[in-house]
Amino acid sequence: MTIALDKLNDPAVRAFVGALNSGDRAAFQAALSPGATMSDDGSDRDVADWTEREIFSSGGHMDIETQSSDGRSLVANYRNDTWGEMRTAWRFNVDDGKVSRFETGQA
């Protein structure tokens, strides 16, 4: 059972997931605050490089399984053409309605 995009509780996270799933680079950038940071499995990564490789050029897609009450922690089945599908955890920091940091890793 997956959670529909319009049922995600946090508007900034909803914009992030929607842009990721539609492969919309411009909308994805608009969902991030300037200078946004991220980590993958505990290691900080360059946002532009990581998102191009892991999302946009590899057909990344999230199917959300669960969300925290504030909508800023998700468990999702994430898939792309490079790694296939894996169960992942995502945590988001949101400032002024935009994602300022996201952390992902295997769940």
Confidence of residue 1 (pLDDT cuts 50, 70, 90): confident
What's the pLDDT score for residue 33? 98
DSSP state for residue 102 in the 8-state scheme: E
What's the pLDDT score for residue 9? 98
What's the pLDDT score for residue 7? 98
CA angle 96, 101, 41 (to 5 degrees): 165
> How far is 77 from 74, CA to CA, in rounded Å?
10
pLDDT tens-digit profile of 27-84?
999 999 999 999 999 999 999 999 999 999 999 999 999 999 999 999 999 999 999 9
Alpha helices in the chain (DSSP H): 11-22, 25-31, 47-51
Q: What does pTM read for this prediction?
A: 0.96
